[in-house]
Amino acid sequence: MSVIVVTGTGTGVGKTIVTSAIAAIAQSDGRRVAVIKAAQAGLHEDGTGDLDTVRRLAGAVTTRELARYLDPLAPETAARRSGLPTVGPADIAAAASQLDETHDLVIIEGAGGLLVRFDGNGSTIADAAWAMGVPMLMVAQASLGTLNATALTAEVLLKRGIESLGVVIGSWPAEPDLAARCNLEDLPVAAGAPLLGAIPEGAGQLNPAQFLESARAGLSPWFGGDFDPEQFAMTYKSG
């Protein structure tokens, strides 16, 4: 497998940090890595986008942004408001196919949640994954309410015949509450797939060396990390 799609169970769940963590480990291990941002809708306060974060944290990886819209909205809505072209599954697949020829790993990061509209036809990042026949990784919150959003996302993947690699918690709080601690056991059930990591809260503010260390600790050996879901859950066992 050389292409994966990273989707969130909603917006602001940590997709970019998880994408950066996967890319950082792979790049450190000597793999040629490319990251595609299917559509950048809205910018950070300093005027940068998600791929700027990836480059800052993961180092010398290839990046490609297929569309940029200033409004922080669903890509189709942002494109319509700005008068700019939309991005569809064919565009995403073409970019991934091209980069796959010269890279060992291509990571495609979606926008918002799984069924956010990318164009006037109602196309989504799920359609792109299905068209390419590549697996998806879910990124979820740790907090109360995450189980429903995760289960809904997982159900769509199952019904559409898209392979789900598992779920990663995009921002594990320094002081997790009862819901977060219980969700360590409940999230894999809701996802119907394994818990493949938990990235510490604030990891995106670390320098590259510290971030790589955090990424290895927070991601499963499946990605080249050291994360053990059972041991992690035992650490925070609620009793």
Consult the annotation and say whether 163 binds a ligand.
no
Consult the annotation and say whether 202 binds a ligand.
no
Active-site position among 25, 37, 137, 166: 37
Consult the annotation and say whether 50 binds a ligand.
yes
Consult the annotation and say whether 230 binds a ligand.
no
Consult the annotation and say whether 28 binds a ligand.
no
Q: Is 92 exposed, middle or buried (0-12, 13-18, 19+ CB in 10 A)?
A: buried
> Is residue 37 among the annotated active site residues?
yes
* Number of neighbours of residue 94 by Cβ within 10 angstroms: 12
Contacts (Cβ under 8 Å, ≥6 apart) of 76: 86, 117, 118, 119, 120, 122
Consult the annotation and say whether 54 binds a ligand.
no
Consult the annotation and say whether 170 binds a ligand.
yes
CA angle 54, 164, 131 (to 5 degrees): 80
Alpha-carbon gap, residue 4 to 2, rounded angstroms? 7
Consult the annotation and say whether 16 binds a ligand.
yes
Amino acid at 84: L
Consult the annotation and say whether 12 binds a ligand.
yes
**What is the Cβ-side half-sphere exposure of residue 57, based on CA atoms within 13 angstroms?**
28
* Residues annotated catalytic, as ranges: 37
Residue set of the binding site for ATP: 12-17, 50, 109-112, 170-171, 201
Residue set of the binding site: 12-17, 50, 109-112, 170-171, 201
Residue set of the binding site for Mg(2+): 16, 50, 109
